[in-house]
Amino acid sequence: MELNSRIPSGPLEKKWDNHRFSNKLVNPANRRKYSAIVVGTGLAGASASATLAEQGYQVKTFCIQDSPRRAHSIAAQGGINAAKNYQNDGDSVFRLFYDTIKGGDFRAREANVYRLAQVSTEIIDQCVAQGVPFAREYGGTLANRSFGGAQVSRTFYARGQTGQQLLLGAYGALSRQIHAGRVTMYNRREMMDVVVVNGRARGITTRNIITGELESHAADVVILATGGYGNVYFLSTNAMASNVTAAWRAHKKGAGFANPSFVQIHPTCIPVHGNYQSKLTLMSESLRNDGRVWVPKKKGDTRPPAQIPEDERDYYLENKYPSFGNLVPRDVASRNAKEQCDLGKGVGATKLAVYLDFADAIKRDGEETIFRKYGNLFQMYEKITDSNPMKEPMMIYPAVHYTMGGLWVDYDLMTTIPGLFAIGECNFSDHGANRLGASALMQGLADGYFVIATSIAHYLGSNPLDNVSEADQAFVDSRKEVEDRIAKILKNSASGPAAKYTVDEIHKELGKLMWDNCGMARNREGLEKALDELPGIRKKFWDSVYIPGSTKEINQSLERAGRLADFLEFAEIMIRDALSREESCGCHLREESQTEEHEAKRDDEKYSHVSVWEYKGEDSEPELHKEELTFENVTPSQRSYK
């Protein structure tokens, strides 16, 4: 597998301009002769579909949900970053670039990240022009807040529904192109395979979720915008349909998978309350601006929080990190919460929670101020937990939130399969080993609105493409392969449910294995154990999963089973990736790699690279390739929040 990142030459600030200038173009009149498939309608997919269609390409767009507007991006709450420096507090493209690279613990490419920071400003202009109702100052200018511990206010937001409003903007642009006939929208379709013809991605195989039919779609390029794979853990803050299937199938067809073990665990989520739980709900990070995190000093203290006197409380973040206090980065906050619970100081019925207390803030600023700031979140919390954070401290616990890993792409966002592109959370490109708050939305829209069209034009302009049709052998083969796989998933079910497992039972087992061994803190022993146990779970799935119904109808168990089958295969490279990275970096503590003060220790000497995995067939071990990372404009420094 050749990893040519095709980073343009020239100084950092000029790379993107140089690249755009040297790229090939497609004449406007010719564009309608070309077709593109976009899988996914999140921020990345919707914006890419709309933009390509506006430029004249014929676009086919796919999503799992009943409407493109429901993609997982809709759930993002906090905001979107952009280097506008509207607040005149010292922000700049370079600072956003630097913060992002540093936040990612120096595991991302300089060139990509710089481009991201450059186009961030255009994103805001674009969204404003679409009528996205961003929050405003009284004077009518755009409002900003500081987010996730950033030193400048560069986060744009629309109440606690920023993702929703940005997505609806992109969905509007997409809808306009659907109306104009330039985008054909396929709802309720699940992509099952990439079709590769003569070494180039030329189409996909999909399953129609309503009829169960397998369909082939051919095009000149295929763009995956299928989001992240956090649901490998079963419980995460991701939407239920978020999956790795599309990316995994691409991987099996030859696309390298980069840094699969880079997963972000968000510190402020509502804790798990029972084994029936289906997903976790995020509580915005902004709560840490005023809330104080604590646990009882005594292990197994079951007194209600109000009865625990001040001197018997351990404000562990404030004590350990006096300068950042409750605002330490996500990974540090998450890890410390887990540590306290592992020490037996966790609170709540499951003992897997810590307090986030607003009592002092209420005393200081008054009930009204605090309620005005966080009322929405408090109400949401109360709906779910039946407890009022104005009266009792909130309980929070970390949860899987975002996946930095993804399909490996070059500067043009093309995977190692020519003609197959990956954008948004589904690629690995810009966040290194850790993503800053409010940067995923920025990246999704940067890729979709401002980067991908340039790449597509260049690809189409520089490669003569054969004609392919859905009747070609490659498409027939792909359909057959998918059909066989579904038949294999269903094969146990004819004999009834006795002595079988449901899809969710197996998924929960996988999730627990991953959470316990491949979560925030990892060690060789645990990872090896996980690698040992994984085949057993896989076997359980293939030998004894029970799925009612057939494939020729709406069959939600079958949909989930298909996704789980891929998670089960994918989990292996996640664990292997974690094993091979014997350093602590970004989101993860590798327990063997710590400083004396038990802080994460990065190892730039050995691990300043992107780990890219190549699929080598069902029975062979995947192969690890490395893309070395070079830093010419910033000097990697160790993070310290003491």
Contacts to ligand FAD by CB under 6 A: 39-45, 62-65, 71-73, 75-80, 162-163, 189-191, 225-228, 237-238, 242-243, 245-246, 282, 401-402, 424-426, 438-441, 444
| CA–CA separation, 390 and 375 (whole Å) | 9
User: Residue 36's closest CA among 234, 231, 222, 253?
Assistant: 222
Closest CB to ligand FAD among residues 423, 490: 423
d(CA 397, CA 336): 10
Question: Which residue is catalytic, options 107, 288, 330, 639?
Answer: 330
According to the binding rule CB under 8 A, does residue 276 interact with another protein? Answer: yes
Name the minimum Å distance from CB 19 to ligand FAD: 22
Q: Which two tokens stand for residue 288?
A: 């840490």
Cα 576 to its chain centre, rounded Å, is 20
Distances (CA, A) of 479 to 205, 206, 471: 6, 8, 11
Q: Specify the residue, 85 or 243, whose C-beta has the smaller distance to ligand FAD.
A: 243
**Residue 273 contacts which entry, another protein, ligand FAD, none (Cβ below 5-8 A, type-dependent):** another protein
* 21 lies in the site for another protein, by CB under 8 A: no
Q: Applying CB under 8 A, which of residues 165, 205, 403, 416 lies at the interface with another protein?
A: 165
69 binds, among ligand FAD, another protein, none (CB under 5 to 8 A by kind): another protein
Site for another protein in 447-486 (CB under 8 A): 449-450, 453
Check residue 85 and give left, alpha or beta (phi > 0: left; psi -120 to 50: alpha).
left
Shortest approach of another protein to residue 353 CB, angstroms? 13
In the complex, the smallest distance separating the C-beta of residue 516 from ligand FAD, rounded to whole angstroms, is 22
Q: Are 611 and 581 in contact (CB under 8 A)?
A: yes
| Residue 491 touches another protein, criterion: CB under 8 A | no
Two tokens at 317? 């973040």
Using rule CB under 8 A, residue 272 touches another protein: no
* By CB under 8 A, residue 164 contacts another protein: yes
Q: How far apart are CA 450 and CA 552, in angstroms?
A: 40
If the CB atoms of residues 22 and 550 are measured against another protein, the closer one turns out to be 550
C-alpha pair distances (Å), 155 with each of 132, 162, 495, 567: 15, 10, 56, 34
90 binds, among another protein, ligand FAD, none (CB under 5 to 8 A by kind): none
Complete DSSP assignment for 602-631: --HHHH-EEEEEE---TTS--EEEEEE---
Residues 556-585 that bind another protein (CB under 8 A): 556-557
Nearer to another protein (CB atom), residue 237 or residue 439? 237
Instruction: Quote the CA–CA distance of 427 and 433 in Å, as a whole number.
Output: 13
Report in angstroms how near the CB of residue 527 gets to ligand FAD at its nearest: 25
Task: Determine which residue in the list 125, 368, 516, 621 makes contact with another protein, applying CB under 8 A.
Answer: 125
> Distances in Å between the alpha carbon of 348 and those of 273, 297, 305, 314, 393?
9, 15, 10, 16, 11
Applying the rule CB under 8 A, the residues between 321 and 380 that interact with another protein are: 349, 380
Selected from 112, 120, 155, 161, the binder of another protein by CB under 8 A is 161
Question: Closest Cα to residue 25, out of 625, 593, 457, 340?
Answer: 457
How many angstroms separate the CA atoms of 505 and 512, rounded? Answer: 11
Rg of the chain over Cα atoms, rounded to whole angstroms, equals 24
Query: How would DSSP label each residue in 348-378?
Result: STTS--EEEE-HHHHHHH-HHHHHHHHHHHH
Beta bridge partners of 73: none
Q: Which of 549, 603, 634, 636 binds another protein (CB under 8 A)?
A: 549
Query: Under the criterion CB under 8 A, does residue 65 sit at the interface with another protein?
Result: yes
Q: Which does 95 bind (CB under 5 to 8 A by kind): another protein, ligand FAD, none?
A: none
Q: Does 56 bind another protein (CB under 8 A)?
A: no
Asked if 533 touches another protein (CB under 8 A), the answer is no
Tell me the site size for another protein, rule CB under 8 A. 84
Q: Report the residue number whose CB is nearest to ligand FAD.
A: 42
The two tokens of residue 116 are 């991201």
User: Residue 142 CB: number of other CB atoms within 10 A?
Assistant: 16
Q: 151, 466, 187: which is closest to 324 by C-alpha?
A: 151
Q: Residue 241 corresponds to which tokens in the numbers above? A: 């349909």
- 494 binds another protein per the rule CB under 8 A: no
227 binds, options another protein, ligand FAD, none, Cβ within 5 to 8 A by partner type: ligand FAD
Q: Annotated catalytic, 69? A: no
Q: What CA–CA distance (Å, rounded) separates 281 from 241?
A: 15
Binding track over 194-213 against another protein, x by CB under 8 A: ----------------x---
Shortest spacing between CB 391 and ligand FAD, in angstroms: 25
Angstrom distance (rounded) from CA 500 to CA 493: 9
Among 546, 567, 607, 613, binds another protein (CB under 8 A): 546
Nearer to another protein, 227 or 622 (CB): 227
Residues with a catalytic annotation lie at 330
